[in-house]
Amino acid sequence: MPIVIAKETEPFEVTLKRFKKRCEKAAILSDIKKHQAYEKPSEAKKRKKNSSQRKMMKTHRRSDKY
C-alpha cells in the first residue's frame, strides 16, 4: 500500500495528487478493476496476447530510434 506523508506547507490537493500517482504506479486500481468481475479464460488469453503485442511494438519502436 502506497504511503504519502503530507508536508506542513503542502496543500491537500497536491498531497492527494501524489497519492493517486503512487497508487497508479503500484497498479492498485487496475488490480481492483481486474478482480471485480469474472473474466472468461478466452478473454484473459486475448487480453494477454494484446498486451504482449503492445510491449513488442513498444520495444521495437525504441530500437528503431538508435
Q: What is the pLDDT of residues 26-41, one digit of tens each?
A: 888 778 888 888 889 9
pLDDT at 12: 94
Residues 6+ apart with CB under 8 A from 20: none
Residues 6+ apart with CB under 8 A from 25: 2
CA angle 61, 20, 54 (to 5 degrees): 20
Q: Which residue has the higher pLDDT, 23 or 65?
A: 23
- pTM for the full predicted model: 0.46
**Which tens digits make up the pLDDT trace of 40-56?**
999 989 989 998 998 88
Please check whether residue 46 is in contact with residue 25, taking contact to mean a CB–CB distance below 8 angstroms.
Answer: no
Distance CA 20, CA 15 (A): 9
